[in-house]
Structure 1
Amino acid sequence: MRKKYFLVICCLITICSFAQDTAAIYLKLQEIAIIDQKVMMPMRDGIRLATDIYRPKGNQKVPIVFSKTPYQFNTWVDGKMTTRTMEEAYNAVSRGYAYVVQNERGRYFSEGEWDILGAPITDGYDAFTWMAKQPWSNGKIGVIGCSSTAEWQMAVASQNHPALAAMVAQGFGAGVGRVGKFMEQGNWYRGGAQQMLFTAWLYGTQNDKFKPTFPKNIQQKDLQRLQRFYDMSTEMPRVDWASGLRHLPVQDIIKNAKGQEGIYEDMIRRKPNDPKWFKGGLYHDNMPLNVPAYWFVSWYDVSSAPNIALFNHVRKTAKEKAIADNQYLVIAPVLHCSYKRATENTIVGERSVGDARLNYDELTWGWFDLLLKGEKNDFKDKNPRVRYYTMGSNKWQQAESFPPPGAEMQSFYLTSGGKANTRNGDGMLSSTVPKEDKPDAFVYDPMNPVPSYGGNVCCTGNAVQGGSFDQSKMELRDDILVYTSDELKEGIEVSGFIESTLFVSSTGPDTDITIKLIDVYPDGKAYNLDETIQRLRYREGYDKEVFMQKGKVYKVDLTPMVTSNYFAAGHRIRIEVTSSNFPRFERNMNTGGNNYDEATGIKVENKIHHSTQYPSVIKLPVVKK
């Protein structure tokens, strides 16, 4: 009984404390800001987007920090005032900025139909035009956000609006359609295989076709009143995604969970080169991007490699040297959008990576002060072009580019006596190519896939916990091929893109090949660094499907991985090769069919070949010190 009363008292104290904090923040904001909520900003087609504006009191013209999001930002939720929007507004206004936050078309109080990755980029352009014309605007706008609040930035920036002066894009991979070797269509694919994060995410996010809406042309004063007791949020029943994502066919997963009827069923049918991916809000590398940008990436995010590739692409293709010189990059050893969660002892998954803290507020506002206010501050003197965290040595490093200058590709060839199955097998990584082909075989059963354990993930609910975990128990499965180097006599730093070329044969017309890069500690613990996959029907490109002939050997270039990790002396480098990493990626049913509408799969025997004729290899960017 005492315990019960103690818990009740603790809850009351927490609620009271939250209410006091909320009231204090709101009062502080009221003292310095003009607050104008539920402004219905008009777009060129007449649709109005719900917008909250917080700006300094007085008649001065100020720069604008703009956040556009599909997520809830209402300051009233369940009849209670929330703090997050007000905190962000206070941080901006107290520094002399207007803070403007807007919902995407069709989200919450905004009018129109919502389409993930498909909202017209004219919405962003029109919002810039409207804001720049306000009497309190100095004509310069900076955009900021993480994940879906960042994904729209790149495509809109390609429209070259004169008011857009700076970007801060964090965890922005969901907005990258195609860049260089990567054709993920906003993280929907990796190597042509669906990334299942969107299945779980859309369950709780997509709009049902029958969702309630307010009357068209409802007035701002009515929305301000209604927002106090209608927050327009969908309350979705919780789903055990660890089992929910196992449902087949994948096109019916949300339906099976009795979720909202929305756009998922259409998207799941799209192939990687479907024309719909090239309409709307995705950025593709044939689009110009000439805006100063501060890019934030994390090693255990869902799309580290394409994000870094985009940074490199912009620096290479910017029309003006001044724009190329105004691209900066931070790569942190954390999960998706978890930059500020780094601590004195940052643990990502199970692995400690040391003190990975940075003052992100100082970086962000220093960047905006330089470009939106024109202040002659010390941002460029204090901050390198690229600041990246090297795990293993557990330190921040800096360089003029990434991969850092001096990184040289070192080849590690796969070799074995034909029994690389499990970590107890004879698979090795060697500096020389084996002469004789002794292929390693395993049976891939889509009804018993290799489970995802840690990894570079986002948004899968309880199905996958992201980060670095000891893979050694997983490596006892017979359908995982394990190739390990000798113990390192000297430590080496691997920083950059990892390239993998495997020679594969199969008894099926289609299958997947997955790979993980592992740091093996002297005590045998094997920590994952990055992972990728390739659907073999797309091995010759994403504009066509080419199926396999039984037993024929095919060269497969996998989508590059990326990391910065110090393999200390006594450690070993390892890769795992198999055909599934589920539910990080959807299972290949191996039939050569659509996959999305199939409820049963077939077992196949897959082989990895390695010899002079078939030099299967992983190439690591080794930094010479």
Structure 2
Amino acid sequence: MTARRVEGIRVEETVWIELSDGTRLAARLWLPPGSAGPVPAILEYLPYRRRDRHRGDDAILHPAFAAAGYAAIRVDMRGAGDSDGLMTDEYTPGEWADAAEVIAWIASQSWCSGNVGMIGLSWSGFNSLQIAALAPPALKAIVTTCASDDRYADDMHYMGGCLLNDNLQYGSTLFTWLGTPPDPAIVGERWREMWLARLSAVEPPAARWMQHSDRNAYWQSGSVCEDYGRIKAAVLAVGGWADGYTNAVLRLLEGLKTPRKGLIGPWAHAFPHVATPGPQIDFINYVIRWWDHWLKGRDTGIMTEPMLTCWMQESEPPRARYHNRRGRWVAEASWPSPQVTKYPYQLTTSGLREGASEPIDLPVRSPATVGTASGEWCPYGWGPDMPTDQREDDAGSLCFDGAPLTAPLQILGGPRLAVAFSSDRPEAMLAVRLDDVAPDGTSARITYGLLNLQHHAGHGRAIALQPGKTYDTQIRLKDVAYEIPAGHRLRVAISTSYWPLAMPIPQAATVTLHRSELKLPVRQAGEESAVPPALGEAWNPGPLEAEVLTSPERGRIRIERNLAQNRMTVEVVRNLGALHIADVDLELQALGSERYSIALDNPAQARSETHRRAAFKRHDWLASVVTTSVLTAAGGDWHFIATLDAYEGEVRIFARNWDLLIPRSSAKLSSPKEIVGK
């Protein structure tokens, strides 16, 4: 079937769900037209404020589900939006326990048939997996989009054990929204009391996450890869090659035993019916086919289609922003696929070659600024956030070029680089990029990976390196589907920095490569093993009625090399936007910016700074939250400074500052200092 009409849907603006401890969660409910009896329900459960911040996304997705004969429900988590209680962190056992109660409540309602599905993007994509691992009886199927099964390896905190600057930028966003007030129009006079309680409970999430620099129990909790067998519901895993969360899709297909499908497009961090780069697809209808099969028992044919459908990207000149990416849809009947073979390439003194491995003994010590062509760790497609021409970064890297290809080469999956190395310092990192080099010299990044070399033996515990000692390790590059055309070269570029995507090691190290082999997942070209399904053209029921005051935009808007100050600066805009939402008569403002700077010859002088503002206005009611966060290195510690200010009108009603020293690594030679704050 196809969902094209949304007339007659019944919408309940606020439905209260009372939990067993008396906490009430606020929800918005869409019910199908007419009274045909109980129907299955689709839940989206997240902290991003159904009343305002997430209202635009909700206006697109949930009415379409209701039009297709489902009850769609958006629930604000405990401590978020208009819900009671407090929230202090992401992905907690309490969050999942509340969700299990919510699912049981939904299944018991007169409008529900007892079958429930969950859908989510990012946070709600994560917790759809995590809640499915609890196996609530009514939860039959989920759709997880732009999320991860491994909170340490593939979230915006760490990559290969290296601290990402996204830890600070997203931590700053959550820092701000944890302290936002409920809507007085919904909760009444107690809104101020609820707001002050939230503000008093806020601690900077970025600082908490930096306290867990290894893959310990904190990160294992909520990482469903620890035991895929706990998930019983059917899983549709969706991702985009431009997104930060691509790796989970193929791992889920391989690790899960429950029925599953994978769909990966060229998209950044958004649902595929609105995502860029395009092409967008009729994702809503695709998902309804999924729901109809698992929640209504209809044979829609979706489970006879290939297990994996993905966009095979084709070579094109790199740009900071794309409307569409070149390529075509391909499919695999199963994953892992017999069509994909791990093909070995040796890194040699004469370049990237086939054949036996050989010693190379090549040192690399990159400029601190290598990485300025990286783009954002998690592009959203709203601005200039994609990787650009890699030639400047290549110039500061150790590069291994292959011969010009005599035929196209398809890559599908995650390359791995095995390397024997030594370092002249106890601490070092490696960034590995796989580039597509055109005949004119243009260098486009295909995929990349990072490794904190103190994690050479695994991410469970950092181990200080003994200078001069040789170690063996593997570096995992992100999963990708990409076709390199004949006449182009494959390049492996290796650097000891990747700033500002990752915070640098404060003391620059020289790393010597002694041997190295690349295992490339090569997809057999020629006759396709499976036919991709028809995905249709993008459709949605229309955007939220709102006056846009500031358009949403995210990305690197300026890169400046200041020779007088001997510094490189990268400026980033991080605006969700500002708008007046007509149906709740509310002006919402969600603005942000970042500034990353580093000394050209001294990575110890790296500085990351974020600014955020969230504001809500209706007539004479104005409430706002403003935060700043700053991260620098201080010897063996991270130095983290933050401020939070809240205003009612023009009057500041709350203020708090933090000044923290956080150990950079569990392998520090000195004893960890107690984290202090004020």
One fold, TM greater than 0.5? yes
> What residue number does 1:104 align with?
77
1:469 and 2:370 aligned: no
Q: Map 1:30-109 onto structure 2 (within 5 A).
A: 32-56=8-32, 57-58=34-35, 60-74=37-51, 83-109=56-82
> What residue number does 2:216 align with?
274
CA contact (8 A) 2:361 2:512 kept: yes
1:292 and 2:234 aligned: yes
Q: Map 1:120-131 onto structure 2 (within 5 A).
A: 120=94, 121-131=96-106
2:164 paired residue among 170, 185, 195: 195
RMSD: 3.1
- What is the CA-CA distance between 1:301 and the residue it aligns to? 1.5
1:206 and 2:175 aligned: yes
Secondary structure in 2 matching 1:339: coil
Change (3 A) 1:456 1:312: farther
Percent identical across equivalent pairs? Answer: 21
1:116 and 2:90 aligned: yes
Residue type at the aligned position of 2:378 = C
CA-to-partner distance for each residue in 1:130-149, whole Å, 9 max, x for gaps? Answer: 00000110001111121112
> What residue number does 1:623 align with?
523
2:329 paired residue among 357, 381, 396: 396
TM-score (norm 1): 0.74
> What residue number does 2:371 align with?
451
- What is the CA-CA distance between 1:456 and the residue it aligns to? 6.7
Residue type at the aligned position of 1:118 = T
Residue type at the aligned position of 2:212 = R
Structure 2 unaligned runs (5+)? 197-201, 316-326, 526-678
Measure the CA separation in 1 of the matches of 2:214 and 2:80. Answer: 26
1:150 paired residue among 125, 140, 143: 125
- What is the CA-CA distance between 1:619 and the residue it aligns to? 0.9
Measure the CA separation in 2 of the matches of 1:133 and 1:38. Answer: 18
Measure the CA separation in 2 of the matches of 1:460 and 1:367. Answer: 25
Residue type at the aligned position of 1:117 = Y
- What is the CA-CA distance between 1:371 and the residue it aligns to? 1.2
Measure the CA separation in 2 of the matches of 1:191 and 1:385. Answer: 28
Residue type at the aligned position of 1:428 = G
Change (3 A) 1:493 1:451: closer
1:329 paired residue among 249, 256, 262: 262
- What is the CA-CA distance between 1:484 and the residue it aligns to? 0.7
Measure the CA separation in 1 of the matches of 2:352 and 2:456. Answer: 24
Change (3 A) 1:338 1:196: farther
Measure the CA separation in 1 of the matches of 2:220 and 2:524. Answer: 41
> What residue number does 1:492 align with?
409
Secondary structure in 2 matching 1:72: coil
- What is the CA-CA distance between 1:452 and the residue it aligns to? 3.8
Residue type at the aligned position of 1:451 = G
Measure the CA separation in 2 of the matches of 1:40 and 1:95. Answer: 24
Measure the CA separation in 2 of the matches of 1:87 and 1:356. Answer: 18
Measure the CA separation in 2 of the matches of 1:275 and 1:434. Answer: 38
Measure the CA separation in 1 of the matches of 2:133 and 2:354. Answer: 44
Measure the CA separation in 1 of the matches of 2:357 and 2:225. Answer: 40
> What residue number does 2:490 align with?
573
Change (3 A) 1:82 1:327: closer
Measure the CA separation in 1 of the matches of 2:313 and 2:380. Answer: 25
CA contact (8 A) 1:209 1:262 kept: no
Secondary structure in 2 matching 1:473: helix
> What residue number does 2:339 align with?
406
- What is the CA-CA distance between 1:47 and the residue it aligns to? 2.3
Compare the two structures and name the one with the higher strand fraction.
2
CA contact (8 A) 2:43 2:119 kept: yes
Measure the CA separation in 2 of the matches of 1:300 and 1:461. Answer: 8
How many residue pairs are counted as aligned between the two chains? 501
> What residue number does 1:13 align with?
none
Structure 1 unaligned runs (5+)? 1-24, 178-182, 235-259, 349-354, 417-426, 589-600, 611-615
Change (3 A) 1:496 1:82: closer
Secondary structure in 2 matching 1:176: coil
- What is the CA-CA distance between 1:204 and the residue it aligns to? 2.1
- What is the CA-CA distance between 1:550 and the residue it aligns to? 1.2
Residue type at the aligned position of 2:437 = V
- What is the CA-CA distance between 1:606 and the residue it aligns to? 1.6
> What residue number does 1:594 align with?
none
CA contact (8 A) 2:268 2:381 kept: no
2:427 paired residue among 479, 496, 510: 510
1:223 paired residue among 181, 186, 191: 186
> What residue number does 1:240 align with?
none
> What residue number does 1:602 align with?
507
CA contact (8 A) 1:300 1:455 kept: no
Residue type at the aligned position of 2:79 = G
CA contact (8 A) 2:50 2:81 kept: no
- What is the CA-CA distance between 1:157 and the residue it aligns to? 0.3
CA contact (8 A) 2:420 2:471 kept: yes
> What residue number does 2:438 align with?
521
1:358 and 2:281 aligned: yes
Measure the CA separation in 2 of the matches of 1:409 and 1:209. Answer: 45
TM-score (norm 2): 0.68
Change (3 A) 1:282 1:41: farther
Measure the CA separation in 1 of the matches of 2:26 and 2:126. Answer: 19
> What residue number does 2:145 align with?
170
CA contact (8 A) 1:201 1:460 kept: no
- What is the CA-CA distance between 1:289 and the residue it aligns to? 1.1
CA contact (8 A) 2:116 2:138 kept: yes
> What residue number does 2:676 align with?
none
Change (3 A) 1:94 1:226: farther
- What is the CA-CA distance between 1:378 and the residue it aligns to? 3.0
Change (3 A) 1:304 1:390: same
Measure the CA separation in 2 of the matches of 1:560 and 1:470. Answer: 19
Secondary structure in 1 matching 2:266: strand
Compare the two structures and name the one with the higher helix fraction.
1
